[in-house]
Structure 1
Amino acid sequence: MQQNSHLSVLVIDPNPGMRGSIQNMLGQAGISKVEYAVNAGTAVKQLMRRSYDIILCEYDLGGSAEGQDGQQLLEDLRHHRLIGLLTIFIMLTSEAVYSKVLGAAELQPTDYILKPFTVDTLVQRVNRALERRAAFLPTFQLIGQGNLREAIRSCVKAEAAHPRFATDFARLRAEMHVNLKEYAEAEKVYRAIFDTRPLGWAHLGLARTMFSLGRIDEARASLEELIKANPQLMGAYDLLARCHEAQGAPAKAKEVLEQAVAISPHVVRRLRKLGEVALDAGDAGIAEKSFKQVVGKARYSEFRTPEDHVNLVRALAKKGDSEQATNVLRDLERAFRGNPALDVCKAYANALMHEAAGNGIAAASDLKVAAHGVRAATGLSANLKMSLSRSCLAQKLDGEASDVMMAVLNDVNSEVSTEQAMDVFAKAGRNDLARAIGEQLDTQAQILLGVADEKRNMGDMRGAVQTLLEALHMAPQSMKVTLAVAGGILRQMNELGWEHPMGELCHAQLEKIREQAPDHPRLQPLLNEYNATRRKYGIAS
């Protein structure tokens, strides 16, 4: 068992007797580098400091009275990327409730072991996971470097070298094509898998590519067929709900998510999405029920957000339940004292309550407080900011609505497109404000191009490119900005070395120019420079 002596393990279990038993089993397997966490909170703190080869996590970490369960912890770790592709996560559970086991499996732990188990069972599962990790290691390392194209080629080779994992490598290859927004290529891979073996995840992958390619009707029909054949494939419900949302049918999206929650009721992000969709559909009762569960389940999470309380207040205000809404507001203040987003969330929640009570003046006053606090606050989601902007529009607070939306668009990490932001104003009948914001964004983008030039002249190549990316976020359709980004990235890589994510970003800008202006005089010189840079650093084509 000497080959396992280098492995590090984190055991997450509140029971000292079980921790001792697992340590003895791991010792028999030759694993001595073992650390412990007694609950989800301490596990997160340890994983923020260092990584582990293997995580053995008890499902029942003490119940709602003491914190998160293992499934909720895994959801946080995946979402906040505290565990990577190389980490082996094995869930240990004696839980007999099927929905909870289903929820854990849905979040894709490497494996799960039912208790009680023997040392032979544990060693067998760990060795099986290590064998798989070894096969995937070269590809995972390329992904970690951001070199997705070489990782795709690695998958193709590995499919032949490791036939046992060939389907898994093909799946990973398709997912990387999706990450590169090469949806047609991903569709081909999923289709080839599905035509050979009608696997549920391949069917779901096909539907995702259809959705991404704008074939919403086709995706919806495919998902409805998939759910009939495989009603436990939870991702199909999530995507089907998105299809209904994209087609302006929030009530249908709500029904689909209700079905999913009935099957797997413990995934916080699905419950949150159900609450949001229910609000859009005008079903305050379902929204209240969903957000109450979200607030309860997230209470012990290291990543909880005050926005869930705001949404619960919104649902209660719509129902006219001011007493409960007031209690939630008090809990918000107690639970998030010191949180930098608290003041904005508290003011916005107060505004929602005043609005429901018909007190427009008080609502407008609190909305102004919330809007003015947005720029200074940290941790606020784009969803909350856009909702705040809508509320300001409803109260005729045009300046505040525009300021909040500009805060969204100035945030390069918001993932909100200019078109989505403008749609908020269009739906409110305020195309004049949308045009004004568009003009303001164009002006800011032009200013940033000048700032990028100054940084480049001072020798700050990385700073120049970062500023160019901010300009691209503000004016993604500007050909002048697109050309500047492509050129800036090439200058950076020629001076400082090739970086695969930057190379992909540059390639995407060149493809955009090719599509929008194939005869542009700067396109061919930029393409020549891009190819020369690849040759300079020996990048495979």
Structure 2
Amino acid sequence: MLFKTYQKKKFLLVDDFDNFIFSLKQMLRRLGAEDIDSARNGEDAVQLFLRKHYDVVFCDYNMGEHKNGQQVLEELRFRKLLKNTDIFLLVSAEAAKDMVFGALECQPDGYITKPITQSILQNRLDKLMEQKEATADINRAIDLEDYSKAITLCNQHLKANTKYRSWTVKTLANLYYLSGDLVHSKQIYEDILQKRRLDWARLGLGKVLLAEGNAQEAAVKFEELIEEQPLLVEAYDWLAKAQRHIGHGKKAQGTLQQAVEISPRALLRQKELAEISRSLHDLETASKAYRQTNKLSEYSCHESPDLYLDFTRCLSDLSEGDTSSQGQKLASEANAALERIRRKYKDDPATQLKSHMVEARVWSGQGKAQEGAKALKQAQTYFDEAAKDNPDLTLEMAQTLYALNQEKEAEQLLTELAAKYPDNEKLQDRIEELRDEPVSLKQRIKARELNRKGIQLYEEGALSDGVAVFKEAMAITPAHVGLNLNLLQTLIKSAAQSKLNAEYQGLAQQCLSRLQRLTPQHRQYKRYQHLLQRYQQIQRG
């Protein structure tokens, strides 16, 4: 029995039931524990940890309207309060699948279901204590992020025929991976897999392949692993990463959707699903994932105003132009969320500014210009203070001004922003993109679809049909540089077959007039100059 080991350890028990705390304390004292503290909720547990370091934590999963055990573990790790040498045990009377998956995904040292008996407690804790003591030097090096030392220690333990060989080999392979030594990491995984098809080694090999740039091969490895182990949720995350790397965004979205079906309580996965869905313009899926992300983020260390605001931005895009009962419901949900954000972050000018800008766009999307103007006016009271040196906020204000048909004000803001950051190429591109498409997401999507259709017709030689489609797209985004160039190129090719009629000449002049603003620094300037010269040659006959 490890009586003296228990005597040296500091224990923290976190549970909202006093009877359970009392019972667990009694059992731990019989094992030799002396230094035992308790907390009735997750917030108090974190505060206790800030004042005193604990070696062993027992934390209930569900503590009502407070942080749950998973969130406590995440925050202690996030703040680097919990060390690799420590023991964290999640305790719960629940056995719901989504809760169990969520709990195990955050990788506690153990998971114990209530009720707990003396023998179960001693058996589980003794084994964990022994392993932590035996691997303490390795874990201390990992805590210090001294991976080189940790690797040396792992190799020493393996030469000494450690009792914990499997843990040490697995840790060593991951340390090589983390330190960027992919050759040694890959060698370990391949050596293991020649003997046994262990899931952790198969997953690790896939990660190494992805890090090497072999995304296609990595994706195959992850797919094979998922086929054989469909509940290994981490494999879905890595498959989605590989798919995104290849450029298969839609496939990555589907993979993440499968993962959240299995384990819906993983906040960062829900957030990633929301973001990739939004990038694919799948606003329905994005809003559902954002809604779940917001729910999970409460009391979490990942909670932030932007997490809530991204949800309202998505709802704004989704409800834009939809005045049906469903559209009004989404707009109301957005405005209610914005009101909560303003109350929660009342002392943060940037959040106040963002929330009022989103609100203005929500009202505008519902055709309520007066309410939109009121929200914009409130946003402008925070603008000078919050957006002084923040290009992102200035861009969003310009977007909001466009949405409320204040084009001159938006253009002036963008001109000033471009002049302020002349050497920031990425920002200059974003400014041009907004000028090209100063319309709602739904309108941008429609214009882009028409543009793609027009390009296809051009390539097929159906020039008159192509001109008609490009005209339809330009009715939505008349300032779009690429669209104007595409129409101009189609008109020039048409002129090679027959002389341009008055309508086509007028269209060409409109395009050239809109393209005059291009500077030599613009990414499309060379193409513009080339087409301009070709058109001038046609005019000269």
| TM-score normalised to structure 1 length | 0.68
What is the match of residue 244 of structure 1? 243
Q: Is it true that 1:34 corresponds to 2:43 in the alignment?
A: no
**Unaligned stretches of 5+ in structure 1?**
407-417, 431-541
Q: 1:142 to 1:299 in 2, by over 3 A?
A: closer
Cα deviation for residue 21 of structure 1 reads: 0.5
Residue pairs, 1:220-239, within 5 angstroms: 220-239=219-238
Counterparts of 2:429 and 2:240, CA distance in 1: 24
Asked if the contact 1:386/1:405 (under 8 Å) is kept, the reply is: no
Asked if the contact 2:71/2:301 (under 8 Å) is kept, the reply is: no
Deviation per CA, 1:305-338: give whole Å up to 9, x if none. 1112111101211211322211110011122233
What is the match of residue 314 of structure 2? 315
Cα deviation for residue 350 of structure 1 reads: 3.6
Counterparts of 2:168 and 2:314, CA distance in 1: 44
Counterparts of 2:345 and 2:16, CA distance in 1: 26
Which secondary structure state, in structure 1, belongs to the residue aligned with residue 8 of structure 2?
coil
Asked if the contact 1:345/1:370 (under 8 Å) is kept, the reply is: no
What is the match of residue 501 of structure 2? none
Which secondary structure state, in structure 1, belongs to the residue aligned with residue 88 of structure 2?
strand
What is the match of residue 22 of structure 1? 24
Counterparts of 1:150 and 1:186, CA distance in 2: 16
Which secondary structure state, in structure 1, belongs to the residue aligned with residue 53 of structure 2?
coil
Matched residue pairs, number? 411
Deviation per CA, 1:449-473: give whole Å up to 9, x if none. xxxxxxxxxxxxxxxxxxxxxxxxx
What is the match of residue 260 of structure 1? 259
Cα deviation for residue 9 of structure 1 reads: 0.8
What is the match of residue 353 of structure 1? 362
Residue pairs, 1:207-218, within 5 angstroms: 207-218=206-217
Q: Read off the aligned partner of 2:50 and give its amino acid letter.
A: M
Q: Read off the aligned partner of 2:116 and give its amino acid letter.
A: F
What is the match of residue 82 of structure 2? 83
Residue pairs, 1:429-444, within 5 angstroms: none
Counterparts of 1:286 and 1:343, CA distance in 2: 27
Which secondary structure state, in structure 2, belongs to the residue aligned with residue 5 of structure 1?
helix
Asked if the contact 1:261/1:270 (under 8 Å) is kept, the reply is: yes
| TM-score normalised to structure 2 length | 0.68
**Unaligned stretches of 5+ in structure 2?**
320-329, 403-409, 434-541
Q: 1:424 to 1:276 in 2, by over 3 A?
A: farther
Counterparts of 2:138 and 2:418, CA distance in 1: 45
Cα deviation for residue 240 of structure 1 reads: 1.5
Cα root mean square deviation, aligned: 3.6
Which secondary structure state, in structure 1, belongs to the residue aligned with residue 163 of structure 2?
helix
Asked if the contact 1:344/1:370 (under 8 Å) is kept, the reply is: yes
Which secondary structure state, in structure 2, belongs to the residue aligned with residue 231 of structure 1?
coil
Q: Is it true that 1:325 corresponds to 2:334 in the alignment?
A: yes
Cα deviation for residue 77 of structure 1 reads: 2.9
Asked if the contact 1:160/1:166 (under 8 Å) is kept, the reply is: no
Q: Read off the aligned partner of 1:56 and give its amino acid letter.
A: F
Cα deviation for residue 49 of structure 1 reads: 2.7
Counterparts of 2:288 and 2:420, CA distance in 1: 29
Cα deviation for residue 367 of structure 1 reads: 9.0
Asked if the contact 1:254/1:277 (under 8 Å) is kept, the reply is: yes
2:386 to 365, 373, 380: 373
Cα deviation for residue 389 of structure 1 reads: 10
Counterparts of 1:267 and 1:400, CA distance in 2: 42
Q: Read off the aligned partner of 1:265 and give its amino acid letter.
A: P
| Structure exhibiting the larger radius of gyration computed from Cα positions | 2
Q: Read off the aligned partner of 1:122 and give its amino acid letter.
A: L
Deviation per CA, 1:204-250: give whole Å up to 9, x if none. 11111111111111111111111111112111111111222223333
Cα deviation for residue 156 of structure 1 reads: 0.9
Deviation per CA, 1:239-289: give whole Å up to 9, x if none. 111222223333222211111011011111111111111111212122222
Cα deviation for residue 44 of structure 1 reads: 1.8
Q: 1:91 to 1:372 in 2, by over 3 A?
A: same
Q: Using the aligned pairs only, state the percent identity.
A: 26
Q: 1:426 to 1:340 in 2, by over 3 A?
A: closer
Residue pairs, 1:23-422, within 5 angstroms: 23-62=25-64, 66-301=65-300, 303-320=302-319, 321-339=330-348, 342-347=351-356, 349-350=358-359, 353=362, 356=365, 373=386, 398=414
